[in-house]
C-alpha cells in the first residue's frame, strides 16, 4: 500500500482535486493554443490577399480611375467609371427584384407555411442555394433571347440572373431571423385578437428588422462579385451606359476579367487597372457589411 493510499481521506481528497485541476488547466491551455493556431491559419490567406490587392491596386487609385471610362483608351490611362456605375445599377436592380421576393417567401414559410407546399418551397430554395452561377446566367440569357431576340444583352438581364442567386440567400437567412422572434410575442398579440397579418407587420417584422437587413446585405455580398452570369447576359463595353434596359453594361468583375484577359502591348497598364478594380470591389463589399452592421445597430428593437 502506497503512502498516499494509506493517508486519511481528508488528505487524499485535496491532493486528487489539485491534480485534476492541474490537468484541466493544461488541457484548457492546449485547447486555447490550438484554436489560436487555427484562427491564425484562417487569417493568413485573407491577410495575404488584402496585402497583395493593396500593394498592387494603389498604383492606379487616382481621380482618373473614378472619373473616366475606357472609351478610346489603348494602353495606359482611362478608368473604371462605367464599370462602377454599371455595378451600382445592376446591384440596385437585383435588390429590387430579390429582396421583396426573398423576404415575403421567408415570412410565408415561417408564419403561414403548413402542409406539403411549404416543404416543397423549402426544398427548392435549398436547391437554388447551390445553383451554379453560370446556370443562372444561361437561364436569363434564354429568357431574354426569347423576348428580345438572340444575343440581347442588358443590365436588366444581368440583374435577373443575379436575383436568382440572391433570392435563396435572403430566404434562408431571413427565415432564420424570423424564427428567432420569441413565440410568446406572437401568442400575446394573437391572444389580444390581432389577425395574423397585423401580428406579422406590427410585431414580427419590427422585432426581426435588424436581422432581416443583415440577411439582405448578406445576399448582396453574395452576388456583387459574380462574373460568369454577367459575361453572358450583361456583356462588356468600354463606354458609359446609364440605361439598364438596353445595350451592354460593364461591371467591376467583368472589367477585371477583361483587363486581365485582353492585355495589349502595355501589359502593365492593364494589370494595374485590374488590381485597382479588385481593390474597389473589395471596398464595395466591405462597405456593404459595415452598412449592415450600422443599420442593424440603429434599427434593433429597444430593450427598455
User: pLDDT tens digit string along 38-50?
Assistant: 998 888 888 888 8
User: In whole angstroms, what is the distance from residue 112 CA to residue 38 CA?
Assistant: 42
What is the CATH class of 61-299?
mainly alpha
**What digits encode the pLDDT tens for the residues 10-36?**
565 665 666 667 777 788 888 888 999
Residue 93's pLDDT is 93
Neighbouring C-beta atoms of residue 138, cutoff 10 Å: 16
Give pLDDT tens digits for 224-237.
888 888 888 888 88
Taken in order 79, 80, 81, 82, the sign of the CA dihedral is positive
Instruction: Flag whether pLDDT at 73 surpasses 80.
Output: no
pLDDT over 70 (residue 3): no
CB 35 within 8 A of CB 203: no
The DSSP letter of residue 58 is G
**C-alpha–C-alpha distance, residues 220 and 233, integer Å:** 19
Domain ranges of the chain: 3-59, 61-299
Amino acid at each position: 500500500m502506497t503512502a498516499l493510499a494509506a493517508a486519511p481521506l481528508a488528505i487524499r481528497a485535496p491532493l486528487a482535486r489539485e491534480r485534476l485541476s492541474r490537468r484541466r488547466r493544461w488541457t484548457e491551455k492546449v485547447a486555447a493554443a490550438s484554436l489560436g493556431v487555427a484562427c491564425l491559419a484562417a487569417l493568413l490567406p485573407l491577410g495575404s490577399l488584402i496585402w497583395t490587392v493593396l500593394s498592387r491596386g494603389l498604383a492606379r487609385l487616382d481621380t482618373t480611375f473614378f472619373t473616366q471610362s475606357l472609351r478610346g483608351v489603348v494602353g495606359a490611362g482611362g478608368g473604371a467609371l462605367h464599370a462602377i456605375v454599371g455595378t451600382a445599377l445592376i446591384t440596385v436592380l437585383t435588390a429590387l427584384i430579390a429582396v421583396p421576393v426573398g423576404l415575403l417567401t421567408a415570412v410565408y414559410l415561417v408564419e403561414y407555411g403548413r402542409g406539403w407546399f411549404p416543404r416543397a418551397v423549402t426544398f427548392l430554395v435549398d436547391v437554388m442555394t447551390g445553383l451554379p452561377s453560370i446556370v443562372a446566367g444561361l437561364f436569363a440569357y434564354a429568357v431574354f433571347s426569347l423576348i428580345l431576340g438572340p444575343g440581347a444583352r442588358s443590365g436588366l438581364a444581368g440583374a435577373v440572373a443575379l436575383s436568382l442567386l440572391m433570392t435563396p440567400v435572403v430566404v434562408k437567412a431571413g427565415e432564420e431571423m424570423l424564427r428567432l422572434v420569441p413565440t410568446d410575442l406572437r401568442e400575446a398579440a394573437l391572444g389580444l385578437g390581432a389577425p395574423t397579418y397585423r401580428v406579422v407587420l406590427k410585431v414580427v417584422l419590427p422585432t426581426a428588422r435588424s436581422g432581416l437587413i443583415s440577411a439582405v446585405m448578406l445576399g448582396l455580398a453574395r452576388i456583387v462579385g459574380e462574373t460568369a452570369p454577367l459575361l453572358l447576359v450583361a456583356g462588356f463595353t468600354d463606354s458609359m451606359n446609364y440605361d439598364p434596359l438596353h445595350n451592354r453594361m460593364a461591371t467591376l468583375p467583368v472589367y477585371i476579367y477583361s483587363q486581365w484577359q485582353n492585355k495589349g502591348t502595355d501589359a502593365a497598364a492593364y494589370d494595374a487597372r485590374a488590381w485597382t478594380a479588385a481593390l474597389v470591389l473589395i471596398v464595395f463589399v466591405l462597405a456593404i457589411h459595415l452598412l449592415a452592421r450600422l443599420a442593424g445597430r440603429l434599427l434593433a428593437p429597444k430593450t427598455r
